[in-house]
């Protein structure tokens, strides 16, 4: 990220001496399709971020210029006018902050980001988190990081119409450098676990496909496992979320649940258990054990939750062929396209990229995208 350029763009638009803030995108390592049912997830922040240059102004409005959108919006919190495009993310955060009693000053912001949009790395959560931190810091207040995440999530729900879980905003606000964060999406507590970045690189491989199914499949899956929970209450009357069951609890009664709800519940129950286990393995330095859970997670998303696709399965199968050089690999994010995440031995990364790139292009007619990321820190002011 070119901060010199960001500062000079700010100066050209609004005047001198802005403060600088950043909030990162993320990749989820394990615990996929568990956050909607308030289970466990284990994401890390990537070393790409939304950066903001900002200063208080006496205009009474929030003026925001995005270098990525090549556009400027002006938000007047005293008026009922509503933003339509990318300004919704800014407006949502500002209005919810105000509603919660924060003082939101008139301010000028310039935004620049190297989180690619729509690549499954959560540029929108990074934007919400960066703006929430900026506006509260400019007002001279300190916002609790869990509250900051919830305001970003509410922005998606109430101003954008995306019914997302808390993971993306939570990790962007709370990430710890060099670590993944185990997040309990029910209690909103979290704990950092060290990643083996001295020996392995985190390689994100983008299929560059987005199959059309995403929204409808998402709603179908949700309906399926909610149906599963209802039926399981026959055996477990107090059941609220699938995280309360172990895989063996479920195995004992799953024949009572019709398909496909049975498979959907099996994925969510097993994935919550795998996520907790994966964090424990990282804590113990059991890297092979951690990697094994990533492969298992992929198989479960493919066979039980059924949200993978040919391109994702192909990438994971090719990664398998690298033996010990790849600790683990799996699809990450919602599925039906998007990316895989793999832990690849540092000295095998170049070979991994070139071999897989050639094989993938031969099979699907285009190259996949690659990004190698360090686990970054959460949102902060930049000195």
Instruction: Provide the binding-site residues for Mg ion, judged by CB under 5 A.
Output: 124
- Is residue 335 within 8 Å of 346, Cβ to Cβ? no
d(Cα 27, Cα 168) in Å, to the nearest integer?
9
C-beta closer to Mg ion: residue 34 or 124: 124
Taking residue 162's Cβ as centre, other Cβ atoms within 10 Å add up to 11
**Contact status: 118 vs ligand ADP (CB under 6 A):** yes
**332 touching ligand ADP, by CB under 6 A:** no
Helices (H), the chain: 3-14, 87-99, 123-138, 145-155, 167-174, 214-232, 247-253, 261-284, 287-303, 310-320, 349-364
Q: Which does 113 bind (CB under 5 to 8 A by kind): ligand ADP, Mg ion, none?
A: ligand ADP
Decide: 129 and 379 in contact? Cβ < 8 Å.
yes
Parallel, antiparallel, or unpaired for β 337-345 and 40-56?
A: unpaired
Q: Supply the minimum distance, in Å, between the C-beta of residue 128 and Mg ion.
A: 9
Whether 168 sits among the annotated catalytic residues: the reply is: yes
Q: How far apart are CA 324 and CA 347, in angstroms?
A: 12
Q: Least distance from C-beta 50 to ligand ADP, angstroms?
A: 6
Choosing from 41, 50, 75, 181, the residue that interacts with ligand ADP (CB under 6 A) is: 50
The crossing angle, in degrees rounded to 10, of helices 214-232 and 261-284 is: 90
Active-site entry in 35, 37, 108, 168: 168
Say if residues 59 and 68 touch (Cβ distance below 8 Å): no
Q: Is 327 in the site for ligand ADP (CB under 6 A)?
A: no
- Residue 121 CB, nearest approach to ligand ADP (Å): 6
**Closest separation in Å from C-beta 77 to ligand ADP:** 19
213: Cβ–Cβ under 8 A, 6 or more apart, which residues? 336
Question: Which does residue 365 bind out of Mg ion, ligand ADP, none, counting CB within 5 to 8 angstroms by kind?
Answer: none
Question: CA nearest 52: which of 92, 96, 101, 90?
Answer: 90
Among 6, 42, 45, 127, binds ligand ADP (CB under 6 A): 127
Query: Per CB under 6 A, does 124 bind ligand ADP?
Result: yes
Smaller CB separation from ligand ADP, 50 or 294: 50
Nearest to ligand ADP of 124, 174 (CB atom): 124
Stretch that binds ligand ADP, among 116-124, 239-247, 266-274, 344-352 (CB under 6 A): 116-124
322: left (phi over 0), alpha (psi -120 to 50) or beta: alpha
Q: Does 153 bind ligand ADP (CB under 6 A)?
A: no
Which of 67, 105, 99 has its CA nearest to residue 86? 67
Residue 57 or 68 with smaller CB distance to ligand ADP:
68
Q: Is 86 in the site for ligand ADP (CB under 6 A)?
A: yes
Q: Is 68 or 197 the residue whose CB approaches ligand ADP more closely?
A: 68
| Tokens describing residue 61 | 């409005």
Separation of alpha carbons 274 and 290, rounded Å: 9
Q: Is 69 in the site for ligand ADP (CB under 6 A)?
A: yes
C-beta closer to ligand ADP: residue 116 or 247: 116
Catalytic residue positions, numbered: 168
* Residues in contact with ligand ADP by the rule CB under 6 A: 50, 66, 68-69, 86, 89, 111, 113, 117-118, 120-124, 127
């Amino acid at each position: 990220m070119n901060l010199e350029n960001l500062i000079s763009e700010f100066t050209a638009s609004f005047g001198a001496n802005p403060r600088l803030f950043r909030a990162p995108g993320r990749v989820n390592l394990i615990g996929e399709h568990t956050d909607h049912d308030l289970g466990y997830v284990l994401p890390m922040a990537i070393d790409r971020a939304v950066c903001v240059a900002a200063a208080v102004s006496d205009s009474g409005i929030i003026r925001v210029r995005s270098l990525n959108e090549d556009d400027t919006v002006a938000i007047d919190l005293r008026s009922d006018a509503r933003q339509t495009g990318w300004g919704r993310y800014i407006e949502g955060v500002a209005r919810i902050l105000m509603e919660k009693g924060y003082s939101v000053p008139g301010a000028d912001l310039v935004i620049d980001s190297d989180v690619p949009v729509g690549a499954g790395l959560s540029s929108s959560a990074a934007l919400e988190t960066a703006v929430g931190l900026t506006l509260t810091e400019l007002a001279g207040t300190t916002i609790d990081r869990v509250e900051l995440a919830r305001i970003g999530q509410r922005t998606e729900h109430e101003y954008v119409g995306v019914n997302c879980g808390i993971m993306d905003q939570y990790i962007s606000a709370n990430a710890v450098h060099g670590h993944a964060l185990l997040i309990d999406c029910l209690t909103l507590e979290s704990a950092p676990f060290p990643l083996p970045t001295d020996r392995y690189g985190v390689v994100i491989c983008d299929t560059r496909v987005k199959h059309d199914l995403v929204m409808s499949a998402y709603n179908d899956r949700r309906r399926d496992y909610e149906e599963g929970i209802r039926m399981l209450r026959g055996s477990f009357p107090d059941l609220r979320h699938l995280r309360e069951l172990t895989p063996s609890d479920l195995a004992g009664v799953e024949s009572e649940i019709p398909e496909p709800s049975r498979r959907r519940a099996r994925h969510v129950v097993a994935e919550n258990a795998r996520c907790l286990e994966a964090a424990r393995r990282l804590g113990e330095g059991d890297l092979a054990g951690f990697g094994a859970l990533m492969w298992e997670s992929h198989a479960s998303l493919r066979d039980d939750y059924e949200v993978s696709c040919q391109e994702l399965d192909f990438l994971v199968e090719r990664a398998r062929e690298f033996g010990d050089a790849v600790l683990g690999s799996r699809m990450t994010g919602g599925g039906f396209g998007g990316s895989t995440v793999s832990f690849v031995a540092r000295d095998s990364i170049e070979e991994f990229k070139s071999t897989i790139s050639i094989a993938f292009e031969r099979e699907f007619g285009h190259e996949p995208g690659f990004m190698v990321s360090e686990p970054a820190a959460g949102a902060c002011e930049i000195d």
